[in-house]
A and B are shown apart, each in its own frame.
Chain A
Amino acid sequence: QVQLVQSGSELKTPGASVKVSCKASGYTFITHSMNWVRQAPGQGLEWMGWITTSTGNPTYAQDFTGRFVFSLDTSVSTAYLHISNLKAEDTAIYYCMRDNRVGEFDYWGQGTLVTVSS
């Protein structure tokens, strides 16, 4: 069965970096793009962008350029979200999702809570 398993919660200080992983299993990794969304505490879902797993080409939403980087290690069927120069407003749950087509996310990771606090 398809599963997306994300890395555990992180507590970081402002200015630090974090790397969230999303390990896929149960399907051929490079056949589906991987998307990321952010959910701040008590807020809705914000689409961050996707990475085409067959090419490694990332696409970022307008609000997530610069400090946010998507990457892959196809040898272990894993996608990564790297956030640099963390700010308090980056405190959120980050989800990875597999897409069947653009905007249709059929499998989700369990989420990774990133807390940024001094």
Chain B
Amino acid sequence: QSVLTQPPSVSAAPGQKVTISCSGSTSNIGNNYVSWYQQLPGTAPKLLIYDNNRRPSGIPDRFFGSKSGTSATLGITGLQTGDEADYYCVTWDSSLSAVLFGGGTKLTVL
């Protein structure tokens, strides 16, 4: 059971928008930056969002991140079949002195 809670799965149709939530506490999300990773089937994870809402170069602006209080959200607009992947939120926990990974969310583009 992860300290960061993500829905196990989400789905939406091509072209639509989807959001993935990541819920934590004041010791982690509430006081630290959140990053998001995309893991396509059979590949290593890739950084999508850092510092809550910043995108590395090369990541399209269809991907966006936000944070409010002790929760963070990853949003994807204009869904494509190539977006089908597992998505993970990550942050630092100041009480545990540990990096936390959410349990992961499997995105299906119907």
Interface residues of A (CB under 8 A from B): 35, 37, 44-47, 50, 61-62, 95, 100-106, 108-111
Contacts and interface: CB of A to CB of B under 8 A. Distances in A.
A44 B92 contact: no
B98 to A, nearest CB: 6
Contacts of B45: 45, 95, 105, 108
Given A35-B99, A45-B88, 12 more contacts: A44-B2, A44-B86, A45-B39, A50-B99, A101-B33, A102-B92, A103-B90, A103-B92, A103-B100, A104-B47, A108-B45, A111-B44
A108 B44 CA distance: 7
Nearest to B91: A103
A44 B88 contact: yes
Interface of B is mostly: strand
B44 A47 contact: no
B33 A106 contact: no
A103 B44 contact: no
A46 B88 CA distance: 11
B101 interface: yes
Contacts of B103: 44
A81 B86 CA distance: 25
Contacts of A47: 98-101
Contact of A106 (B47, B88, B92, B104): B47
The 4 nearest A-B residue pairs measured at CB: A44-B104, A108-B44, A47-B99, A103-B92
17 contacts: A35-B99, A44-B2, A45-B39, A45-B45, A45-B88, A47-B98, A47-B99, A61-B98, A100-B50, A102-B92, A104-B33, A104-B35, A104-B47, A104-B90, A105-B47, A106-B50, A106-B56
A45 B104 contact: yes
B108 to A, nearest CB: 16
A109 B45 CA distance: 9
A37 B32 CA distance: 20
A20 B39 CA distance: 21
Nearest to A43: B104
